[in-house]
Amino acid sequence: MKIVLWRRPDDERLAALRAAFPDIEFAWPTEEHPLVEVIADADAYIGWLGPEEFAAARRLRWVQSHSAGVEWLQRVPALVESDVIVTNARGAHADTIAEHLFAMLLYFTRDLGYFNRQKQARQWDRGGGAARLTALKGLTMGIVGLGNIGRAVAQRARAFGMEVVAVDVQPVEAPGVSAVWGPEGLPDLMRRSDVVSICCPLTPETRGMIGADLLALLKPTAYLMIVSRGGIVDEAALLTALKERRLAGAGIDVFETEPLPPESPFWDLDNVIITPHISAASRLTADLLWQIIHENIGRFQRGEPLINVVDKRRGF
């Protein structure tokens, strides 16, 4: 059996793979041997695939995405229509992404940018600074997408004493969430929330879902946090709303075009925090990802059902 990885793991993780699965050949692309060549006789692939690589993979039976999002499937319709199983890494990234979201939110509500500027100016502005600050307790957190990331955000919001409401394509009860609506509840969520967190996957149905009409419903004191995928929020409409101060600010970790071009006007806005699609980055995330990979390799080798199987047509 041969399994191809998207890149060579570090020595520690590679040794662990080989110790756990001594009968499996592990390979990865190099400059001399690109993925389209290495994957030709692979039984499984761990990573993201393009159309050319999938066409070359004559023996492929399983693809393990190293991310929770699988919007890349939209570029490989032949894979979607095939019998090849696709699994994702949902559950590995959620806790760290939720922490990152609250780091951005607290930067705004505690106005840490202002106090950093005061520090640089060597000014102790306790009186004027206090008037700039907001408490989270009693505010409403609106979550778009109540999967693993959304539930992790909800858990932390409740710990801060926030009320939590959510919208999901599959509305189900979740601990600490006072109301969960289907997509038809988006307008109410936008009107009601002090913070709106975009945590849903990017699919054909969610692309451009948050447009100018919904952004116009936000309170002028509201914050928008985008941490799942770019392309769900209409960025042109969001840019206009931010420039016109129709919301208080946005924390954006993901954009439709990445890297964000240097000429993007988002860089110039003082009411935006930008991080480079890094909200999931932590040792915890990496460890959980490799736990999922190990679990599914073992199941695949034994012919058992895999975990985190994706509905390829729905995109999650």
Whether 100 is catalytic: no
How far from each other are the two terminal CA atoms of the chain, in whole angstroms?
27
- In 3D, which of 253, 233, 28, 32 has the Cα closest to residue 153? 253
The Cα–Cα gap between 251 and 102 comes to 10
Q: Virtual CA dihedral for 302, 303, 305, 307, nearest 10 degrees?
A: 50
3-state secondary structure of 93: coil
Q: Which of 79, 49, 68, 75 is nearest to 204 (CA)?
A: 75
Q: Closest Cα partner for 15 from 282, 296, 294?
A: 294
Strands in 25-27's sheet, in edge-to-edge order, are 25-27, 2-5, 44-46, 62-64, 85-87
> Which of these is catalytic: 66, 110, 246, 277?
277
Classify residue 41 by burial, with Cβ atoms within 10 Å: 0-12, 13-18, 19+. middle
Q: How far apart are CA 110 and CA 38, in angstroms?
A: 51
DSSP class of residue 76 equals -
Q: Which of 25, 52, 205, 258 is catalytic?
A: 258
90 is catalytic: no
Please say if 229 is a catalytic residue.
yes
Among the listed residues 151, 163, 229, 235, the single catalytic one is 229
- Residues with a catalytic annotation lie at 229, 258, 277
